[in-house]
């Protein structure tokens, strides 16, 4: 029992000290902003989007607190188990999943739908971090140091790509590779990997689905089909641009309320926010994200062992990727990929994973002991 | 040498710093992009958002109505429903239109054309005009599953009577070359022919416009502002619908024309040309079979015979010769001339229509029996210059209502004209032929109606108009240098031609002694009769192919005392004027007696 936690379970005061309340405040603020936009999108209706969103935030907060409470050793030890569990979930999606718009991403459990690929992101980071923690003594240029994590990474990646969900797949890949990069592998591996990946690009292009190819082509040449695939991005840019400095005012965005923006409550939630609150609002939102991400980076820097360092950095990167990919997508910097804006977008899986990630970060950043 | 763990930490921190810098750069890229969109290009995007949001559309005003002189409708506006397909955010446009096809009846060619338009990304496609009630009901009850479908009510021109098609013309879609502004307006129509075209500006009215807030699917969410248009001005034509319809039907299967004028006002009461088309066919998309029918009809239904058709005036022209003769000092209308059936000039022989000859005839009698030889003889005394001048005074060779009907000028030959046209001098033979309205002379039914009206009005300069007039013509517009004796003589001649037993139209006289018809028949030849045929016996009209038969003409006025109506009837290739045209004139006068327009 002594190994389970370094703190006594009855010492609740310590547990609450572990929580960074400033960060938690900002996370709550983001969820609240999400609620505001959903209220606007619903034409001033609290039900069902806003209520559901806030309820999901409440559940996710609970998850954050519970994660803070769990012993680091327990997390460390169950890393691989979580990883296998996530693979199991991905397999069950393949067999039992709900088919939505031709892709198979969701799993229904007791009336809740959940996206197992979101859990995979967490699991991969934990598993790779544990591997490097256990084998930090192996030379950086040892081939073993690369092979195993790559295998860990590619199994869920293959499943997610197969769903098909290119966006999440790439996010998983990048956050996993970030952890491998931070682990300190030899610079030559990185160099050759890049060359290898580039040479594989034409082959990968052929493996893409038609709609994915179309999205990428549309992104490269958006004027080619202004009423087709490029339409959403064009309308999103119009929404954001027309917001100006102060925005059009709350619930006054014409682009959103006249249904020019697709997926208003999920992927394109930032367009609505930006249209109604302008550059000022967007800047504040970006700064809030910057703050919580900086917290992650600093925590990672301060951590005293490989597992905590890598886990925190990996999770932070994961959240960063969510954020940056979503915003870049709606402002037309990258092609459309279905990635939500964490905490703001409507949708439970991403929110839950984000909050659990912050729970782990808060938990780990207070850890000063030794893992065994 | 550091411990591996310590060394690890250094590498990690270095790489973390690198990664964080990368994140910082991406953040700055995003912020820079937001700055560009929301501050630098904000105005551009605001305009784009407004363009998305606000839909400015023109309101087509209701077109002015066209009435006859008794306020009977000739051209109405009818409510029609049309099916519009708008491409906004429809995922599969072609699939959506196929669904629509299940609810409306369309020809396969039309369907293919619609598919093409949709493939070309035309924003607004007119699927079906003039929907039937069952189609409207079917589409409206299934509107929720039909994407992009709208039913619009529009006002469509409706022409009441086929008899007025040549007078009214028709409306159609604006042409891109002549009407660039209106071309862009859906549902805008412009007059294409006759009254509809000539009075288009007034009939059109003023366009209104509305600004509406629309959503991404093209549905109207809010009305922002609306300026109503001004309906077009109504027009009251001088045409009498009753008389027009009667005349139209009276011509029957014949090709020809009837023109009736009010002598006092110059108003055209009837302007019929047959065969005709139906103006209603031209408004929307014409059925290909109908168009073929019109094009393949070699009588050319699109040709307005009343104003553009020109015919040799035949014996009607003799009236002009008599009037011209009165300018001669020594003209004696009572002097008798002996007609033996032919007239010798040099070595040429000119025949009278009656081979046996008319015996002794004076001027009045010559008109009544329409003796050709009398006029051959008279014309040589009068001379072509004189005849030409008089013909022009009475309105022949002049274009009337050209701006409306693109009328024909006809032809009154003169010495100068022949020289210019053929490079040859005028000969006396030409004068002889001209005297009976053959040869070069050509007149339209409208011109002949004007001529006869001027005679009936005792030399008043009747000018035709097709718009209803409230006042009679000005009093002091008499034709100058006119011998009134001549007028009264030819009026007597015309009286006899119909009402005396020797007259050519005696069998078509009107029996009411208070109101008698006067007029002049004409049978105008369209072929030359050869010497051989004359010897063998002239072939009867009935035995000739249609296009070689004579034209039957009748020009007259009614009633004989204080005449009110002047008219001209032309039955194309109808045989003789007394047999084909005069009976129509009789019926016309009897109707005029009844309805008194």
Q: Which of A244, A254, A274 sits opposite B53 (nearest CB)?
A: A254
DSSP E strands, chain A: 98-100, 103-109, 112-114
Report the Cα B217 to chain-centroid distance in Å. Answer: 43
| A340 half-sphere exposure, CB direction, 13 A CA radius | 21
Q: How much is the pLDDT for A4?
A: 42
Q: How far is B25 from chain A (nearest CA, A)?
A: 11
Closest residue in A to B53 (Cα–Cα) = A254
Whether A100 shows a pLDDT value over 90: the answer reads no
Distance from CA of A182 to the nearest CA of B (A): 5
Q: Which of A136-150, A283-297, B245-259, B279-293 has the lowest mean pLDDT?
A: A136-150
**CATH code for residues B49-72+160-236:** 3.90.1310.10
Distances (CA, A) of B342 to A289, B336, B370, B377, B506: 117, 16, 14, 11, 24
Torsion sign (Cα): B357, B363, B366, B371: positive
B359 forms bridges with which residues in the sheet?
B339
Closest residue in B to A140 (Cα) is B8
- Whether residues A136 and B8 touch (CB distance < 8 A) is answered with yes
> Which helix (H) or strand (E) is B583 found in, with range?
helix B582-595
The CATH T-level fold of domain B241-295+303-595 is: Beta-lactamase (3.40.710)
B211 contacts: CB under 8 Å, gap ≥ 6: B54, B55, B56, B223, B224, B225, B226
Cβ-defined contact of A333 to B29 (cutoff 8 Å): yes
Q: Which of A241, A256, A293, A315 to mutate to probe the B interface, most B CBs <10 Å?
A: A241
Cross-chain residue pair B48–A137, CB shorter than 8 Å = no
User: Which chain A residues in 113-132 lie under 8 Å from chain B, judged by CB atoms?
Assistant: none
* Contact A371/B at CB under 8 A: no
Q: CA distances (Å), B475 to each of B390, B457, B559, in order?
A: 21, 11, 21
Please name the residue ranges forming H helices in B108-176.
108-119, 133-141, 165-168
**CA of B283 to nearest chain A CA: how many angstroms apart?**
33
**Counting every residue, how long is chain A?**
372
Residues of A whose CB is below 8 A from B213: 254, 258
Cβ-count burial A109-133 (b if 16+ within 10 Å, e if not): eeeeebbbbbbbbbbbbbbbbbbbb
Query: pLDDT per position in chain B (597 positions), as tens?
Result: 445 567 778 888 899 999 999 999 999 999 999 999 999 999 999 998 888 888 888 888 889 999 999 999 999 998 888 888 887 666 677 777 888 888 888 888 888 888 888 888 777 888 888 888 888 888 888 877 777 788 888 888 999 999 999 999 999 888 888 777 777 777 888 888 899 999 998 998 888 888 888 877 777 788 888 888 889 999 999 999 999 999 999 999 999 999 999 999 999 999 999 999 999 888 877 888 888 988 998 899 999 999 999 999 999 999 999 999 998 888 888 999 999 999 999 888 999 988 889 999 999 999 999 999 999 999 999 999 999 999 999 999 999 999 999 999 999 999 999 999 999 999 999 999 999 999 899 999 999 999 999 999 998 999 999 999 887 767 667 888 888 889 999 999 999 999 999 999 999 999 988 999 999 999 998 888 887 888 888 888 888 888 889 999 999 999 999 999 999 999 999 888 889 999 999 999 999 999 877
Cα A266 to Cα A341: distance, rounded to the nearest angstrom: 8
Residue in B closest to A285 by C-alpha = B31
In this complex, the residue of B29, B42, B50 whose CB is nearest that of residue A244 is: B42
- The pLDDT, as a whole number, for residue B121 is 76
How far is it, in rounded angstroms, from Cα B167 to Cα B304?
Answer: 9
* Inter-chain residue contact B34 with A279, CB threshold 8 Å: yes
Residues of A in contact with B48 (CB under 8 A): 238, 241-242
- Report A:76-115 residues touching B (Cβ under 8 A): none
- For residue A193, count CB atoms less than 10 angstroms from its CB and return exposed for 0-12, middle for 13-18, buried for 19 or more: middle
A320 and B37 within 8 Å at the Cβ level: the answer is: no
Q: Which residue of A has its CA nearest to B30?
A: A328
List of E strands, B19-135: 54-59, 66-67, 73-86, 124-128
Cβ <8 Å between A241 and B214:
no
Rounded (5°) CA angle B49-B52-B54:
105
Higher pLDDT, A214 or B46: B46
Distance CA A9, CA B591 (A): 117
Residue ranges of A 149-188 with Cβ closer than 8 A to chain B = 178, 181-184
Kindly state the tokens that stand for B267. 């108003």
The one-character DSSP state at A262 is S
Q: Which residues in chain A (251-310) have CB-CB distances under 8 A to chain B?
A: 254-255, 258-260, 274, 278-279, 282-283, 286, 290, 293, 297, 300-301, 306, 309-310
* Helices B318-325 and B384-393: angle between axes, nearest 10 degrees: 110
Is the CB of B31 less than 8 angstroms away from the CB of A240?
Answer: no
Do B42 and A324 make contact, defined as CB atoms within 8 angstroms? Answer: no
Do the beta carbons of residue B373 and residue B345 sit within 8 Å?
A: no
Cα–Cα nearest to B440, from B419, B456, B458: B419
Question: What are φ and ψ of residue B101, in 5° steps?
Answer: -60, -25
For A133, name the nearest residue in chain B, comparing CA atoms only.
Answer: B5
- Answer whether A245 touches B (CB < 8 Å): yes
- Helix runs in B54-119, H state only: 93-101, 108-119
Which of chain B's residues have a Cβ under 8 Å away from the Cβ of A332? Answer: 33
| Beta-carbon count within 10 A of B211 CB | 15
**A136/B42 touch (CB, cutoff 8 Å), yes or no:** no
Residues of chain A in contact with residue B147, where contact means CB-CB under 8 angstroms, are none
Burial of B365 (0-12, 13-18, 19+ CB in 10 A): buried
Residue of A4 and A168 predicted with greater confidence: A168
C-alpha distances in angstroms, A111 versus A107, A108, A114, A116, A147? 10, 6, 10, 15, 39
Residues A15-34 pLDDT 10s: 677 788 999 999 999 999 99
Q: Do A242 and B35 lie within an 8 Å CB cutoff?
A: no
- Interface probe with A: pick from B49, B147, B222, most Cβ of A within 10 Å: B49
- Rounded Cα distance between B519 and B407, Å, is 24
Distance CA B410, CA B446 (A): 10
8 Å CB contact between B37 and B45:
yes
Instruction: Name the band, by pLDDT with cuts 50, 70 and 90, for residue A2.
Output: very low
CB contacts, 8 Å: B53 with chain A = 254-255, 258
CA distance A308 to A327: 29
Question: How many angstroms separate the Cα of A181 from the Cα of each of A120, A300, A301, B106, B297?
Answer: 19, 14, 15, 66, 88
Beta strands per DSSP E along B229-383: 235-236, 256-262, 268-274, 337-339, 342-345, 348-351, 359-361
Asked if A182's CB is within 8 angstroms of B16's CB, the reply is: yes
The residue with greater pLDDT, A246 or A108, is A246
Q: Which residue has the tokens 């004189």?
A: B386
**pLDDT band at residue A111, thresholds of 50, 70 and 90?**
low
- Chain B residues closer than 8 Å to A238 by CB: 45, 48-49, 52
Chain B residues with at least one Cβ partner in A under 8 Å = 4-5, 8-9, 11-13, 15-16, 19-20, 23, 26-27, 29-31, 33-35, 37-39, 41-42, 44-46, 48-50, 52-53, 87, 89, 121, 213-217, 221
Contacts of A239 in chain B (CB under 8 A): 49
Q: What are the domain boundaries of chain B?
A: 49-72+160-236, 78-156, 241-295+303-595
Domain ranges of chain A: 12-365
pLDDT of residue A368 exceeding 90: no
The Cα–Cα gap between B524 and B438 comes to: 7
Angle at the Cα of B99 from the Cα atoms of B96 and B101, rounded to 5 degrees: 115
Which one of A181, A184, A281, A309 would you mutate to disrupt binding with B, by most B Cβ within 10 Å of its Cβ?
A184
At which residue do the structure tokens 């000290």 appear? A17
Q: Which residue does chain A place closest to B14, by CA atoms?
A: A182
Place of tokens 């097709």: B466
Check B45 against A237: CB less than 8 A apart: yes
CA distance B195 to chain A (A): 44
CATH topology of domain B78-156: Ribosomal Protein L30; Chain: A, (3.30.1390)
ipTM: 0.90
Residue A228 — very low, low, confident or very high, per pLDDT cuts 50/70/90?
A: low
Structure tokens that stand for A109 in this block: 């459990």
Number of cross-chain residue pairs from A and B with Cβ atoms under 8 Å apart: 128
Between A13 and A251, the higher pLDDT residue: A251
Q: Do B16 and A297 make contact, defined as CB atoms within 8 angstroms? A: yes
Distance CA B307, CA B244 (A): 15
Tell me which residue in A240, A258, A290 faces B37 most closely, judged by beta carbons: A240
The phi, psi pair for A309, rounded to 5°, reads: -55, -55
Verify cis geometry, omega within 30 degrees of 0, for the bond prior to B66: no
Select the more confidently predicted residue: B196 or A213.
B196
């Amino acid at each position: 029992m002594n190994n389970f936690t370094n703190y006594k379970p009855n010492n609740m005061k310590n547990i609450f000290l572990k929580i960074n309340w400033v960060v938690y405040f900002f996370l709550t603020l983001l969820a609240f902003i999400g609620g505001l936009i959903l209220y606007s999108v619903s034409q001033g209706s609290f039900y069902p989007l806003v209520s559901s969103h806030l309820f999901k935030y409440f559940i996710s907060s609970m998850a954050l607190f519970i994660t803070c409470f769990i012993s680091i050793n327990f997390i460390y030890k169950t890393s691989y188990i979580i990883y296998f569990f996530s693979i199991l979930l991905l397999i069950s999606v393949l067999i039992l999943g709900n088919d939505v718009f031709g892709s198979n991403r969701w799993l229904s459990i007791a009336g809740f739908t959940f996206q197992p690929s979101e859990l995979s992101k967490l699991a991969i980071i934990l598993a790779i971090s544990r591997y490097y923690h256990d084998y930090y003594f192996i030379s950086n240029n040892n081939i073993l140091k690369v092979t195993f994590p790559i295998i860990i990474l590619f199994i869920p990646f293959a499943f997610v790509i197969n769903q098909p969900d290119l966006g999440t797949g790439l996010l998983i890949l990048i956050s996993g590779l970030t952890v491998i990069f931070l682990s300190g592998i030899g610079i030559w591996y990185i160099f050759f990997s890049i060359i290898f990946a580039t040479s594989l690009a034409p082959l990968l292009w052929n493996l893409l689905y038609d709609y994915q190819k179309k999205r990428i082509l549309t992104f490269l040449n958006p004027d080619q089909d202004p009423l087709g695939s490029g339409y959403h991005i064009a309308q999103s840019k119009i929404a954001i641009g027309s917001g100006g400095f102060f925005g059009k005012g709350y619930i006054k965005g014409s682009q959103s309320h006249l249904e020019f923006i697709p997926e208003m409550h999920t992927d394109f939630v930032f367009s609505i926010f930006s249209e109604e609150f302008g550059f000022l609002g967007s800047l504040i939102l970006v700064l809030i994200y910057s703050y919580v991400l900086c917290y992650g980076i600093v925590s990672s820097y301060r951590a005293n062992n490989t597992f905590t360092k890598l886990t925190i950095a990996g999770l932070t990167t994961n959240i960063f990727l969510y954020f940056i990919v979503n915003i870049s997508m709606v402002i037309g910097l990258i092609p459309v990929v279905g990635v939500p804006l964490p905490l703001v977008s409507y949708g439970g899986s991403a929110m839950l994973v984000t909050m659990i990630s912050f729970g782990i970060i808060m938990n780990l950043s207070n850890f000063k002991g030794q893992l065994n | 040498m550091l411990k591996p763990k310590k060394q690890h930490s250094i590498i990690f921190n270095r790489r973390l710093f690198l990664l964080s810098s990368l994140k910082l750069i991406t953040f700055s890229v995003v912020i820079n992009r937001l700055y560009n969109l929301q501050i630098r290009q904000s105005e551009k995007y605001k305009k784009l958002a407004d363009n998305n949001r606000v839909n400015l559309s023109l309101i087509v005003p209701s077109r002015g109505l066209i009435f006859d002189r008794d306020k009977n409708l000739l051209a109405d506006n009818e409510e029609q429903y049309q099916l519009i397909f708008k491409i906004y955010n429809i995922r599969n446009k072609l699939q959506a239109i196929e669904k629509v096809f299940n609810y409306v009846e369309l020809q396969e060619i039309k369907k293919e054309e619609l598919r093409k338009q949709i493939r070309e990304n035309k924003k607004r496609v007119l699927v079906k005009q003039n929907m039937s009630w069952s189609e409207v009901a079917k589409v409206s009850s299934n509107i929720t599953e039909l994407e992009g479908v709208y039913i619009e009510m529009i006002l469509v021109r409706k022409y009441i009577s086929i008899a007025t098609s040549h007078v009214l013309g028709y409306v159609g879609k604006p042409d891109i070359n002549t009407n660039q502004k209106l071309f862009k307006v859906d549902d805008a129509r412009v007059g294409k022919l006759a009254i509809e075209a000539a009075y288009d500006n007034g009939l059109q009215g003023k366009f209104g416009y509305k600004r509406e807030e629309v959503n991404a699917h093209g549905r109207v969410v809010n009305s922002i502002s609306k300026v109503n248009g001004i309906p077009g001005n109504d027009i009251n034509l001088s045409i009498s619908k009753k008389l027009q319809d009667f005349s139209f039907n009276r011509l029957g299967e014949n090709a020809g024309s009837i023109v009736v004028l009010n002598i006092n006002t110059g108003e055209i009461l009837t302007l019929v040309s047959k065969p005709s088309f139906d103006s209603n066919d031209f408004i929307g998309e014409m059925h290909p079979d109908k168009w073929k029918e019109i094009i393949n009809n070699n009588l050319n239904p699109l040709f307005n015979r009343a104003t553009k058709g020109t015919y040799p005036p035949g014996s009607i022209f003799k009236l002009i010769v008599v009037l011209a003769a009165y300018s001669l000092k020594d003209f004696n209308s009572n002097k008798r001339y002996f007609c033996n059936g032919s007239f010798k000039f040099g070595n040429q022989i000119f025949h009278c229509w009656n081979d046996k000859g008319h015996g002794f005839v004076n001027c009045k009698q010559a008109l009544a029996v329409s003796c050709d030889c009398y006029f051959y003889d008279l014309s040589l005394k009068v001379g072509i210059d004189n005849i030409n001048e008089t013909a022009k005074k009475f309105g022949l060779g002049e274009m009337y209502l050209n701006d409306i009907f693109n009328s024909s000028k006809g032809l009154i030959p003169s010495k100068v004209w022949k020289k210019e046209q053929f490079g040859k001098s005028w000969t006396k033979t030409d004068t002889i032929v001209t005297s009976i309205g053959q040869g070069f002379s050509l007149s339209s039914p409208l011109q002949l109606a004007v001529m006869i009206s001027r005679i009936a009005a005792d030399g008043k300069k009747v000018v035709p108009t097709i718009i209803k007039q409230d006042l009679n013509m000005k009093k002091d517009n008499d034709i100058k240098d006119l011998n009134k004796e001549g007028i009264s003589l030819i009026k007597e001649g015309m009286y006899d031609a119909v009402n005396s037993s020797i007259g050519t139209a005696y069998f078509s006289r009107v029996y009411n002694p208070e109101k008698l018809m006067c007029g002049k028949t004409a049978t105008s030849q369209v072929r030359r009769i050869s010497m051989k045929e004359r010897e063998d016996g002239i072939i009867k009209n009935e035995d000739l192919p249609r296009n070689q038969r004579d034209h039957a003409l009748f020009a007259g006025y009614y009633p004989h005392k204080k005449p009110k109506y002047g008219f001209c009837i032309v039955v194309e290739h109808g045989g003789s004027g007394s047999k084909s045209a005069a009976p129509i004139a009789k019926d016309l006068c009897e109707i005029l007696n009844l309805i008194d327009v």
